[in-house]
Structure 1
Amino acid sequence: MQAEPAESSMQYAPFPEVLSAYGATRYSIGNNFSPGSVGLAASSPEQLSYNAAITRWFDLLATDADLDASQVFDSIEDLQSHGESPRHPNPSTPGFAGASYEGFPVAGHHRTLSTTSSSLHLKERCPAYDAFKASEKQQWLSSDPIQLQQHEHTLFENFIKHISLWIDLFDPWRNFSTFVPHLAMHNVGLMKAILTLSARHLSLNPDANQQVHDRNDALQYYNETLHYVAKAMQYDSYKTSLELLATALIVSTYEMLDGSGMDWERHLQGVFLIQRSQVIHGDSKGLKQAVWWAWLCQDIWAAFRENRKTFTFWKPVRTYDDMNPHELAVRSVFLVARVIDYCSREAIEACGGNMAIRIQEADRLTQTLQEWHQYLTAEFNSLSWKRSSSDVFEPIWIHPPSLAVAIQLYNAAQLLLLINRPSRGGLNDFLWQAKLKQKCIANICGIATTLDDYASSVLSSQSGTCVQDSKERKAVVELLRTCRQRTGWPIKPLEQELQKLWTEGEGQEGSK
């Protein structure tokens, strides 16, 4: 077995790029970062590392939200405020009843274990008692469950029943629909983040009663989330907490849904730095692992759109023969990340025009994909599905959806390699590529026709770039349109981009 890579084995070693990853901002505690700074008293290298990472992440959020710097620092000084909604509350959105920074929780998910458990999932949900951490956590946790207003119950329920399913797609434990809501019941910042995301989602997707949800509601919750984080991040127990990790991922999801573009991409890197500073990766187990994979799903989409490399450099050490079907499925996300790295402009520039190197690397990635495919279990095979004479693509039904999306990702990775690898030339190579492209397109779109989750439909956009047949193009456009109607994402319709791409391609063909 290969040696464990740096990302998964390092012990909180401070890394200078955290401090220089972004330009200084007007809020930055990290502008003049040094151990002992306000809220960042670092007595060890690991504290220095995660202090810097979290500060940079928060700087970006505060800057993009255009918060007033004096308000943020007033909040940091005023940590003992009792049960208040953050500054500038919306009169129509009362603060949480029972939300407090004081009083250590004694019920719910904060009960202590009477015996030591070997299960990380149980340890997360019933952490062992630690007197020092308990005394500090009472500063940023609510002792009583947060009481929501009537309209907030709707937002909270929407997150649990709908939005969390997107985030939990590859997580068999469904952490964001089962565990995170319980964390939020005692953490104002996490609850505000959930309401932020849910309010934005419903503003894009009116419910069955056609109730109108104002986008400004999401902005209000967003600002309140930042104010809470500004207060709580002075405590080391918060900066390494599951609550902060979940908050960061949910805020990133909000930015993705909100169509914030480059801001979202920079914040993805900020979340990466937080995870790296705490040595969180794809095999970390529990909620930390769930956050890492959900973050990588977002990062591969952003990297694909921006033609850049993904941020992670993690190298898994577990072998496929040691994995169950769910673990095999999520590994497909990592494989796509490596292929997107290959297709990035950085990778193309790095080879210096040496086509032999590009072909060799493409062959290596192809072998990696084939190795993964060889270990797939019976659950990845298609099941019987009803056919219709109007079907453009033959329906392919694989259950559960996470396994189906894994097969889509596998085919999307193959398709990206075919599009971006240099051709060896010759008729045989041309025919082989054309045949494999068509097979990948049929698999991606065939699976998309049987799934109603947003992830599978969005993948159809990648296959659409290679579709030539007019009926197939119409089918791809309809899949993307249906996805957008269902989720409200992405803000900019992908079908419009495909139509433009096809038109440009036809124009080039006509000019020859």
Structure 2
Amino acid sequence: MVQMFAGAAHPSPEIGQRPEPIASLQRAQKVRGCVLCRSAHAKCDNQDPSCSRCTVLNRECVRAPLDPFRHIYNPTVKPVDRALEPRPEYEYAENQVWLTPLNNVVEFVFEDPSNEHVVPPSTQSGGVSSHSPASDPSLPPLGNPQGRYPSTSNYSTTGGPLSQSPVTFNAPGTSSVGSARSRNPTSDSLLPGVPEWLRNTDTWQSCSVTENTQNDHQDGSEELASGGSFSSSLSISPDAANTGARKRHWPLEDENEALLLRHFTAKLSLWFDYCDPQNTFATLVVQQAVKSPTLLYAILATSARHLSMISDFDAYLADKYHRECLELLIHIVGDSSALLDDALCAATVILRLFEEISVPLVGSDTQGHLMGTHTFMRASEYRPFGIREAVFRVVLRQEIVFAFKTQAALQLLPEYVQVDRAMERVDDWAFAFHIMVLCAEVLSYCYGEGPKLAEAWDDLSARVKSWIDSKPSSYEPLFCVPTCVVKGQIFPQIWLLNDCHVAAHQHYLICQILLVSHNPRRPQLGPRRTESVDSTERVIRNHVKDICGIALSNSHCIPAMFTASMVISVCGEFFTDYQEQKAMLEILVKTDVELAWPTASAQSYLLEKWDWNQV
């Protein structure tokens, strides 16, 4: 019986007849998700002619092209019996051009992308070749390619730890972040393309790298001038590894790095300077990157990751810079003095954003850099000024987002409360910080391990009400239009003055959502329970729509969209109206596709809860 059904499924070919390739049958049946769903990193339901997401968003549903692999003998897609194996469906063309490898030329290259210097064949045991490209005038000289530079990681070219003696590298053709300015500081080749009046020879040298040339310095300069290359001995200072303290190394010679730094200053710094009237990250933090390679690598990695998520920017660069940054951070483990470095503190909180927007690629939030920010915050007392203050506020917002999504208490709540109580309510930004700390307290009450006493709930509820009652007049909306479903306006329009007003109102509404959903006096049984549940869900829906309306009405405040997406992902299942569901899904898609803030998992979860996958 089994053989009968097996034969019906896969009939044996007659003698001389070539069987139908199973791989081609599977590829014919396989359907790729549409371009919109793939760009949002969401699962496509593959409905014909348009998937559910494209139908809701009124977008053209374009199927992503198939990119077949060259399967030859893969048992998962081809018959196991080699006798019945058909010819490969994808073959090389008859006019395929094949390169002939050079004979008797073997080079040993350390293939770490950040360490692309060549190990001379003579240093290898049992050398394969007595011939090297450096000695062959017909071959171009080997040097660092454009945009590459030696790594400062504590590994030799053979993969082992560095010895105490200096490490020898080939002199790079170009220098970039963390590379040595090994030439005469007064020479024109030191600052190519920089006008004379912009040069400051005292600050264009690196203090963390020292050079000891084997030949006379003048001879080396003449060799460079003639187009040759030389080997220099670079001694990596432990202080440079621990603190990243280096003098100015601008202008950057890699155009990609300059582009990434500008992207951070113009775009991503707004995410960190949210509710910061001093714009600390766009000013002080970026300026610190001139002297701190660790901070600069963190900025470059995060900018590269963001650009790779919203455009066709090379994603490899993000991983490369991230690895370089981690190699420098490893050296500060156990160094209490390094934890007081403001530049390293800022680098850690920037890497937390890198971690957040990398979730679609990694698969989950590893929280590694979030824990790192906690270490820096606990290492020293709060400073009410400068970079440390700005980082403290960013960490508070990052913790609130994580705690609300994962329904967990905040780790640094005592530190937040202590700072909040010592702060004077002298301006609107301090008033906004107060409601954020209060939101952190409410989160810890709702999701902490302590008892949910009614007295504690009453105290928090009274403090939240006191905040909204005592808000300054500048917190009043500039313009307000209520929801009008008839006109297709699902969310209200609420225009606010500054970013601190936007953030403060959203966090106030989050407090209300948490308090109403965790009211210890809400009936748990009896006829009043259903009425109480309906009332609670109605209040939550109204607050969610207000949060979304604030985000859309103040689109210049990018983090407000993140807050709206966070609230939708947690409370979206309470919405049953199709138009409201569609409007919230549009926010999630916009935040994911245009801002690279991951919402694909929230989209999939809500589509399932709303039964859209059954449409």
Q: Check whether TM > 0.5.
A: yes
Q: Aligned ranges for residues 187-206 of structure 1 at < 5 Å? A: 187-206=292-311
Q: Separation in 1 of the partners of 2:168 and 2:245? A: 11
Deviation (angstroms), 1:166 = 0.6
Q: Separation in 1 of the partners of 2:355 and 2:371? A: 13
Q: Separation in 2 of the partners of 1:240 and 1:319? A: 21
- Specify the SS of the correspondent of 1:473: helix
C-alpha spacing 1:269/1:77, structure 2 compared with 1 (3 Å): farther
Deviation (angstroms), 1:457 = 2.1
Which one of 500, 504, 519 corresponds to residue 421 of structure 1?
519
On the 8 A contact 1:99/1:146 being kept in 2, the answer is no
On the 8 A contact 1:98/1:144 being kept in 2, the answer is no
Q: Aligned ranges for residues 77-476 of structure 1 at < 5 Å? A: 95-96=176-177, 140-148=244-252, 149-206=254-311, 212-231=312-331, 237-259=337-359, 260=362, 264-280=366-382, 284-312=384-412, 313-314=414-415, 315-316=417-418, 318=421, 322-344=425-447, 346-347=448-449, 350-351=450-451, 357-384=452-479, 389-425=487-523, 426=528, 433=536, 436-452=539-555, 453-461=557-565, 462=567, 463-476=571-584
Letter in 1 for 2:609: L
Q: Separation in 2 of the partners of 1:263 and 1:99? A: 36
Deviation (angstroms), 1:430 = 5.8
- Specify the SS of the correspondent of 1:179: helix
Report the equivalent of 1:46: none
| Most deviating of 139-148 and 429-438 | 429-438
Q: Separation in 2 of the partners of 1:182 and 1:418? A: 45
Deviation (angstroms), 1:370 = 1.3
Q: Separation in 2 of the partners of 1:364 and 1:84? A: 67
Q: Separation in 2 of the partners of 1:319 and 1:375? A: 19
On the 8 A contact 1:140/1:187 being kept in 2, the answer is yes
What do the CA deviations read for 1:399-437 (whole angstroms, capped 9, x no partner)?
212311210111012112222334533488567645533
C-alpha spacing 1:390/1:491, structure 2 compared with 1 (3 Å): closer
Q: Separation in 2 of the partners of 1:258 and 1:318? A: 35
Letter in 2 for 1:145: H
Instruction: Confirm or deny that 1:477 pairs with 2:582.
Output: no
Aligned residues: 391
Gaps of 5+ in 1: 1-66, 109-134, 207-211, 352-356, 507-512
| Most deviating of 285-294 and 300-309 | 300-309
Letter in 2 for 1:269: M
Report the equivalent of 1:35: none
What do the CA deviations read for 1:41-78 (whole angstroms, capped 9, x no partner)?
xxxxxxxxxxxxxxxxxxxxxxxxxx999679977877
C-alpha spacing 1:79/1:214, structure 2 compared with 1 (3 Å): farther
Deviation (angstroms), 1:152 = 1.1
Letter in 2 for 1:472: E
On the 8 A contact 1:200/1:218 being kept in 2, the answer is yes
Structure with the higher fraction of residues in strand conformation = 2
C-alpha spacing 1:319/1:236, structure 2 compared with 1 (3 Å): closer
Report the equivalent of 1:14: none
Deviation (angstroms), 1:495 = 2.7
On the 8 A contact 1:233/1:239 being kept in 2, the answer is no
Letter in 2 for 1:398: L
Q: Separation in 2 of the partners of 1:182 and 1:474? A: 43
C-alpha spacing 1:191/1:305, structure 2 compared with 1 (3 Å): same
Deviation (angstroms), 1:184 = 0.2
Q: Separation in 2 of the partners of 1:334 and 1:152? A: 37
C-alpha spacing 1:503/1:228, structure 2 compared with 1 (3 Å): same
Letter in 2 for 1:179: L
- Specify the SS of the correspondent of 1:142: coil
Gaps of 5+ in 2: 1-151, 186-200, 205-237
What do the CA deviations read for 1:110-148 (whole angstroms, capped 9, x no partner)?
xxxxxxxxxxxxxxxxxxxxxxxxx96898422233332
C-alpha spacing 1:100/1:445, structure 2 compared with 1 (3 Å): same
Deviation (angstroms), 1:224 = 0.7
Q: Separation in 2 of the partners of 1:69 and 1:98? A: 15
On the 8 A contact 2:154/2:161 being kept in 1, the answer is no
Indicate the percent of aligned positions where both proteins have the same amino acid: 23
Point out the structure with max Rg over C-alpha.
2
Deviation (angstroms), 1:268 = 1.3
- Specify the SS of the correspondent of 2:276: coil
What do the CA deviations read for 1:317-340 (whole angstroms, capped 9, x no partner)?
537863310111122222222222
Q: Separation in 2 of the partners of 1:238 and 1:446? A: 43
Report the equivalent of 1:486: 594
For normalisation by structure 1, the TM-score amounts to: 0.66
Q: Separation in 1 of the partners of 2:404 and 2:170? A: 42
C-alpha spacing 1:464/1:457, structure 2 compared with 1 (3 Å): farther
- Specify the SS of the correspondent of 2:495: coil
Report the equivalent of 2:6: none
Q: Separation in 1 of the partners of 2:460 and 2:168? A: 55
On the 8 A contact 1:97/1:146 being kept in 2, the answer is no
Q: Separation in 2 of the partners of 1:423 and 1:84? A: 73
C-alpha spacing 1:400/1:247, structure 2 compared with 1 (3 Å): same
Letter in 1 for 2:547: I
Q: Aligned ranges for residues 14-25 of structure 1 at < 5 Å? A: none
Letter in 2 for 1:374: D
- Specify the SS of the correspondent of 2:410: coil
Q: CA RMSD in A?
A: 3.9
C-alpha spacing 1:413/1:236, structure 2 compared with 1 (3 Å): closer
Deviation (angstroms), 1:249 = 0.9
C-alpha spacing 1:471/1:376, structure 2 compared with 1 (3 Å): same
Q: Separation in 2 of the partners of 1:440 and 1:324? A: 26
Q: Using CA pairs below 8 Å that are at least 6 residues apart, which structure has the higher relative contact order?
A: 1
Q: Separation in 1 of the partners of 2:163 and 2:334? A: 10
